[in-house]
Structure formats: structure tokens, C-alpha cells
Amino acid sequence: MREKLIFDLSREGRKGYSLSGNDCPELPLESILPSKFLRKVPADLPEMPESEVVRHFVRLSNLNHHVDKNMYPLGSCTMKYNPKINDYTCDLPGFSALHPLQPAETTQGALQLMYELAEMLREIAGMAAVTLQPAAGAHGELTGILLIKKYHEAQGSKRHKLLVVDSAHGTNPASAALAGYEIISVKGNADGRTDLDDLRSKLDGDVAALMLTNPNTIGLFEKDIQQIAKMVHDNGSLLYMDGANMNALLGITRPGDMGFDVMHYNLHKTFSAPHGGGGPGSGPVGVSAKLVPYLPVPIIEKEGTTYKLSYDRPESIGRMMNFYGNFAVMVRAYTYIRMLGPDGLRRVSENAIINANYLLSLLLESYDLPFPKPVMHEFCLSGDRQKKTHGVRTLDIAKRLLDYGFHAPTIYFPLIVSEALMIEPTETESKETLDVFAEALLSIAREAATTPEVVLAAPVTTPVKRLDEAMASRQLNICCSL
């Protein structure tokens, strides 16, 4: 067996050492590297004690906000705590030292993990099959829409419209447009749910699918989902579910049973992989039986006790990702699901719903709720009262929360709520933390009434103070020193 070597280039003898620490006198460096490339004098490396290096990185990490530091109530993003055991499994050398071009005989463990993860996701959502390839929720949307497109093409139909509800995440219309569809917006009703009359009036022979988020973006369950599914299917169209809000449904109900044909999961939200700052993510897609032939290649198949990658899928939409997707995120999600089991997953959603309703009940004395409660795992308040009465906007409230040590909620989204503050506490926050967070928001409401200039000047405790938002987005400078 060939041993890996490390070299001590700074010492006289310039000997090679094996990883086990034994000298390898039979392999002098000169026999491996031409002597003209060998260093003549020791490298001038910076001399820093480990303690200073550790403190430097801890200081840097604390300049930012992260879920290990305090609550991160960013609505729709499900910033739940990421259990450290996820990273332990992810770091096991059998996973972390794999190369994507290794032959399948040598990667059976990884293939088994992916196969079983897809099976568990399939079961959780009640779909017929799942692909793990897409690298994020938005990428899953594009994959799902391409599957829908391929399905209609196979029926010889040229449907060119996609219906998207007006409270949808911006990625929904963006993905539909990327796949070449004309986007038709469907209105919500006074209850905050899909308006069935508006939907009916827009369902015609050109509609390929309706994209829906359930629970929707203001945290409300689409109670009429079975009727919606029937209307859509009777029209020969398909039903897509944006599964970013699966944190409210685990073990309680399943999109497949509601009548959805395609959905994406956000492993980095629902299944506790770290996210923020743009990735990495994982957005598997689940489909009903009629879409299975079009799934991306490769598919992981099990034959007896062996796993293999199958490319023999003549009707596939093709590849959606280099290699197999973001494997490390899959290992984390697998660990999380295995750790909790079916009962644990159900408790996750039950507690997410209880936490959201508890927090909402504390905030109602000072903030407006534009749509009826109870909510599912998140809710959307309006800062209209603060703006009209005191000239304090939702943006100012969000900035002031940073001074209280919290991340801001999602603001000005969804677009159907004016001065929106969209809050998702997740199940991993304790009652004590929720109480402190609620008190911060109530205190800011009091400040807005008595000392609005304090809120308007926020944040004052963060390394970077109030930014000129327009200039920051037009002249992005991510290198400026603090």
C-alpha cells in the first residue's frame, strides 16, 4: 500500500515522514522533487500563538450574527439551531475524504446514505420518488418546473402559463420565468389564503401548473387545498408545492396526500443544515408517479444489497448538478432525521407551531396582525401603526432589534402586507428566549412612541452603523475595513 507522505521542509535533513510519524529513509525528498524546486532557506512563516489565532477568529465570528449567538427569527428561512452532531457525522473521513469520481464499488456507504435519505424524504412528504440533485430551494423549483414542462410536452401539449400566488417567494416567478413560462399572478383573499374565484377565472387550457406554498408565506394553512388540487387537475394542469415551510407539517400531514404532483424540500431549512450567506444548500425534489420517468440522472438504485448510479433514463430531463448534489448537506439532514425519528419530527412541527402562536400572542398588544390567527410556524405583523402614528418604519424597527442582540425578522415581504415584519421563531427557541425577544419588540414599540429618534438612529451597538441602503446595493463594497 502506498503511504501518504508529509515533508518537513524547514529542517536540515529535509526528510519525508509517513502520516504515522515513522521516518521513511528510503524516500529522500530529492528522489521525489527535483532539487531546483527545494527550498534553500526555511519559510518565513508568521509566528502566532494558537491562543491569539483562536481569539482572532472568535472575535471575527462575533462581529456577525449567527444562530449559535442568539435567536434568528428570519421568517420563511427557518433559522433553527443546527445540532453539532450533524457536523460530526459529516466530518467522518469515510464521507469527507470521498472523491466524486470514485467508482461506485468504493462509495457504497455514501450511496446507501443518499438512497435512504431520498426514501425518508419520500415517506415524509408522501411522494412517489425523490431526486437529491438540486443545490437549493430555487434550484429545486427550476428542476420541478422543467419536470412539469417535460410532462406536458410528452402529452403533446404546449401549455405556456404558470400560475403563482401573489404571496409567493420571489424565487417562484423567477424559476418559472427561467423555464420559459409566462407568469400569471393569482390573488389572495381577505383571509390571507388563495382566492378560489380568482384561481378559477385564470385556469384555462394554457396553464401548465399552479405553484403554491403551504403553509403559505404569511404562515396560514391553505385549508381548501384538496379543492384547489381538484380544480387544477380537472384543468389538466399540475400542482407544485414550494416546500420551504415543511417545518410546520412534519409528521402531521403530507403534500402528496393533499394532491401535489411536485415539490421541493429545503434540507438547509427544515432539516437543520447551516445556511445564510448564500449556501451551500440542498433542494431535493419529490414527484408523484406520473413524473417519475422525467427525473434527473443519475438515479441511485438498489439491487439486492448493492447501490448503483443509473443513467439509463431515456425520458429524463438530464443532469441538474455536477456529480450528485451537495452531499455534506445530505449527511447533515440524514443525521437529523435519524436522530429524531418519526415521533421526534412530529414534535419539531408541533413545537414550531406552538412557539409561533405563543410569540404572536405576546406581540399583539403593540403590533397589527393583518390576517386572522391561529398561524402555523410563522406569522406576519404589520408596522403600519408605528409608521402612521410615529413616523417609525418597519426598517427602523428591524435595525433597532440589532441593538437588542437579535437578528432582524424578514421585512417588507410578502408584498401583500404593508410594512411587513415576518417572524419565524422555530421550535428550537426556549420560552425564556421567546419572552426576551418579545420584550425587545415591545420595548421598541414603546420607544417609537416616546423617543422615536432613538429607533431612527439605530443600530448603534453594531460594528457597522446605519447604511445608506441604496448606495450599499449600487456600490457594493464587501472589502471595506471596519
Ligand X SMILES: *Cc1c(COP(=O)(O)O)cnc(C)c1O
Q: Given the rule CB under 6 A, which residues bind ligand X?
A: 76-77, 136-138, 169, 171, 213, 217, 242, 244, 266, 281, 283
Nearest approach in angstroms of CB 424 to ligand X is 9
Specify the DSSP class assigned to residue 12. Answer: T
- Give whichever of 271 and 406 is closer to ligand X, judged by the CB atom: 271
- Give whichever of 16 and 137 is closer to ligand X, judged by the CB atom: 137
> What does residue 162 show for φ and ψ, rounded to 5 degrees?
-125, 125
**Strand, helix or coil for residue 213:** strand
Counting every residue, how long is the chain? 482
Nearest approach in angstroms of CB 414 to ligand X is 9
For residues 237-276, one letter each, b for 16 or more C-beta atoms within 10 angstroms of the residue's C-beta and e for the rest, the string is bbbbbbbbbbbbbbbebbbbebbbbbbbbbbbbbbbbbbe
CB atoms within 10 A of CB 85: 13
- Give whichever of 136 and 444 is closer to ligand X, judged by the CB atom: 136
CA–CA separation, 132 and 88 (whole Å): 21
Instruction: Give DSSP secondary structure letters for 157-176.
Output: ----EEEEETTS-THHHHHH
Nearest approach in angstroms of CB 459 to ligand X is 25
* Residues 312 and 162: beta-carbon distance below 8 Å: no
CA–CA separation, 51 and 460 (whole Å): 30
- Please compute, for residue 56, the number of CA atoms within 13 A of its CA located in the half-sphere on the CB side: 6
Nearest approach in angstroms of CB 111 to ligand X is 24
- Within 8 A by CB and 6+ apart from 437, the residues are 71, 73, 359, 406, 425, 429
- Give the pairing of strands 262-264 and 285-287: antiparallel
| Residue of minimal Cβ distance to ligand X | 137
CA–CA separation, 134 and 266 (whole Å): 10
Nearest approach in angstroms of CB 195 to ligand X is 19
- Give whichever of 171 and 366 is closer to ligand X, judged by the CB atom: 171
- Give whichever of 241 and 398 is closer to ligand X, judged by the CB atom: 241
- Give whichever of 213 and 366 is closer to ligand X, judged by the CB atom: 213
Nearest approach in angstroms of CB 210 to ligand X is 15
* Residues 210 and 239: beta-carbon distance below 8 Å: yes
- Give whichever of 392 and 408 is closer to ligand X, judged by the CB atom: 408
- Give whichever of 126 and 280 is closer to ligand X, judged by the CB atom: 280
Nearest approach in angstroms of CB 138 to ligand X is 3
- Give whichever of 164 and 455 is closer to ligand X, judged by the CB atom: 164
How far from 274 is each of 129, 281, 282, CA to CA, in Å? Answer: 26, 8, 11
CA angle (220 as vertex; 218, 222 as ends), nearest 5: 125
Nearest approach in angstroms of CB 330 to ligand X is 14
Nearest approach in angstroms of CB 38 to ligand X is 48
CA–CA separation, 336 and 348 (whole Å): 11
Cell numbers standing for residue 43: 519559510
* Residues 264 and 326: beta-carbon distance below 8 Å: no
Nearest approach in angstroms of CB 140 to ligand X is 8
- Give whichever of 222 and 242 is closer to ligand X, judged by the CB atom: 242
